[in-house]
């Protein structure tokens, strides 16, 4: 690794210099004026760590269990679409990196590598499959069957996307997927309908045409009727929705504002986390993503009640740097930073990171 590259931010800077405009803007951008995008990160600094001393941290263990599976680190990979724009091996390289680090890789429905390709690339890693639901419900059924057959361990149903947010850069760039790539889980128009646009973002046009905007909470029952895989609902930001999801018997809730890409003006994911943990924390596993770029971010999210955290963009920056190696480096950096944070705050295991270790900054102005 070049000596200049020592943290996630360094990888991001590098990616800004090497990625083509169309891809960089798609990966980087948030919805609207991107206030929430900036806030996703800044909000972490509003939470302060209360370190404890002299608690024997000579032997440390960063592992945990998620949906009954052991993971070596409490940080995994969120689904991001179209990773082959960042590196020729795209999702396969990303999944291999997660496998090597003993953590979870989540494959997007609209990936540029197929379910089967990813399963073959990383046969031993824990893989989850993210679902977008198309108007044609048989499409979803078929994807679920393929994910089950390929050994994926959970379905991540994204619930915040009846439409995709208005990402201004993509509208300006008339974003399309380059012609040598396609949505690899599909054939025909669903695979290549993203390669052209008459006007505006080709992705918005594709989604508006093909995704089911009529989805309701009861459709989770429909999903449960034909799969035994655990369901994680991704994109919940309120206690109200978290309670509905818990009542429907989902196994996990991923607190997320979709990397600030859906509607500008939502809270940061880390701000929404506490109300959701309060509402359902002992009934359903709660995870979060959005703005994680440092080991202290992971520590704060765990203290606020997340069982596991995930990240999206940093893996794209890792891919753009050096494919599988780049993502492994990112995961290793976050692991080292979390390990240091745990040692210095008196936490030998992730179970020691309890809710008293992190407070909102207002605690200190009382």
182: CB partners within 8 A, 6+ apart: 112, 191, 192, 194, 195
Pick the closer one to ligand FNR by CB: 86 or 347.
86
Phi, psi (degrees; rounded to nearest 5) at 359:
-130, 155
Task: Provide the mask over 16-45, with x wherever binding to ligand FNR is found by CB under 6 A and - wherever it is not.
Answer: ----------xx------------x-----
Nearest-CA neighbor of 63 among 335, 291, 357? 335
Which residues are marked as active site? 258
94: CB partners within 8 A, 6+ apart: 77, 83, 105, 315, 318, 319, 324, 327
Give the span between the Cα atoms of 167 and 161, in whole angstroms: 13
Q: Cα separations (Å) of 315 from 15, 118, 310, 335? A: 11, 16, 10, 14
State whether residue 156 is helix, strand or coil: strand
Residue at token pair 């990979």: 77
Residue nearest to ligand FNR (CB): 312
Nearest-CA neighbor of 288 among 298, 329, 239, 103? 298
Task: Provide the mask over 116-145, with x wherever binding to ligand FNR is found by CB under 6 A and - wherever it is not.
Answer: --------------x---------------
Task: Provide the mask over 50-79, with x wherever binding to ligand FNR is found by CB under 6 A and - wherever it is not.
Answer: ----------------------------xx
271 counts as binding ligand FNR under rule CB under 6 A: no
Residue at token pair 């992190």: 358
Compute the least distance from the CB of residue 51 to ligand FNR, in Å: 26
158 counts as binding ligand FNR under rule CB under 6 A: yes
Pick the closer one to ligand FNR by CB: 197 or 257.
257
Side-chain-facing half-sphere of 272: CA atoms under 13 Å: 29
234 counts as binding ligand FNR under rule CB under 6 A: yes
Sign (positive/negative) of CA torsion 79, 202, 260, 172?
Answer: positive
Give the span between the Cα atoms of 211 and 195, in whole angstroms: 17
Pick the closer one to ligand FNR by CB: 117 or 352.
117
Only one of the segments 188-196, 218-226, 255-263, 352-360 lies at the binding site for ligand FNR (rule: CB under 6 A); that segment is 255-263
Compute the least distance from the CB of residue 40 to ligand FNR, in Å: 6
291 counts as binding ligand FNR under rule CB under 6 A: yes
Give the span between the Cα atoms of 319 and 103, in whole angstroms: 17
Compute the least distance from the CB of residue 137 to ligand FNR, in Å: 18
Our CA angle for 187, 147, 125, nearest 5°, is 120
259 counts as binding ligand FNR under rule CB under 6 A: yes
**Contact with ligand FNR (CB under 6 A) among 256, 266, 341, 345:** 256
State whether residue 341 is helix, strand or coil: helix
Compute the least distance from the CB of residue 27 to ligand FNR, in Å: 4
Only one of the segments 94-102, 225-233, 257-265, 335-343 lies at the binding site for ligand FNR (rule: CB under 6 A); that segment is 257-265
294 counts as binding ligand FNR under rule CB under 6 A: no
Pick the closer one to ligand FNR by CB: 281 or 314.
314
Q: How many residues touch ligand FNR (CB under 6 A)?
A: 23
81 counts as binding ligand FNR under rule CB under 6 A: yes
113 counts as binding ligand FNR under rule CB under 6 A: no
258 counts as binding ligand FNR under rule CB under 6 A: yes
Binding residues: 26, 79-81, 108, 130, 132, 158, 167, 234, 256, 258, 261, 312-313
Give the span between the Cα atoms of 320 and 22, in whole angstroms: 14
Per CB under 6 A, contacts with ligand FNR among 310-349 are: 311-313
Taking phi over 0 as left and psi of -120 to 50 as alpha, with beta for the rest, 323 belongs to left
290 counts as binding ligand FNR under rule CB under 6 A: yes
Phi, psi (degrees; rounded to nearest 5) at 82:
55, 55
Binding residues for glyoxylate: 26, 132, 167, 261
Which residues would be at the binding site for ligand FNR (CB under 6 A)? 26-27, 40, 78-81, 108, 110, 130, 158, 234, 256, 258-259, 261, 289-292, 311-313
């Amino acid at each position: 690794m070049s000596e200049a590259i020592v943290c996630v931010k360094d990888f991001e800077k590098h990616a800004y210099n090497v990625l083509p405009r169309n891809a960089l803007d798609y990966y980087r951008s948030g919805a609207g004026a991107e206030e929430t995008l900036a806030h996703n990160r800044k909000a972490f600094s509003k939470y302060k760590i209360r370190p404890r001393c002299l608690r024997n941290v000579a032997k440390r263990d960063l592992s945990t269990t998620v949906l009954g599976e052991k993971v070596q680190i409490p940080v995994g990979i969120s689904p991001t679409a179209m990773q082959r724009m960042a590196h020729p091996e795209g999702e396969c390289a990303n999944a291999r990196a997660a496998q090597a680090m003993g953590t979870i890789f989540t494959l997007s429905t609209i990936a540029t590598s197929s379910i089967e390709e990813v399963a073959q690339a990383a046969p031993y890693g824990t893989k989850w499959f993210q679902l977008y639901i198309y108007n044609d419900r048989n499409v979803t059924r078929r994807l679920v069957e393929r994910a089950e057959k390929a050994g994926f361990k959970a379905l991540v149903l994204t619930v915040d996307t009846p439409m995709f947010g208005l990402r201004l850069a993509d509208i300006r760039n008339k974003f399309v997927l380059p012609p040598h790539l396609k949505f690899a889980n599909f054939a025909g128009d669903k695979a290549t309908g993203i390669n052209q646009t008459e006007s505006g973002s080709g992705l918005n046009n594709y989604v508006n045409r093909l995704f089911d905007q009529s989805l309701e909470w009861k459709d989770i029952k429909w999903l449960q009727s034909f799969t035994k895989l655990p369901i994680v609902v991704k994109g919940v930001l309120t206690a109200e929705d978290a309670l509905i999801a818990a009542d429907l018997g989902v196994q996990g809730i991923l607190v997320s504002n979709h990397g600030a890409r859906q509607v500008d003006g939502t809270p940061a994911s880390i701000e929404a986390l506490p109300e959701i943990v309060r509402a359902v924390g002992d009934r359903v596993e709660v995870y979060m993503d959005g703005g994680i770029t440092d080991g202290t971010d992971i520590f704060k999210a765990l203290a606020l009640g997340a069982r596991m955290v995930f990240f999206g963009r940093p893996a794209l920056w890792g891919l753009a740097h050096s494919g599988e190696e780049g993502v492994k480096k990112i995961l290793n950096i976050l692991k080292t930073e979390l390990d240091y944070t745990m040692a210095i705050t008196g936490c030998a295991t992730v179970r020691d990171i309890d809710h008293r270790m992190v407070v909102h900054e207002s605690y200190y102005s009382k």
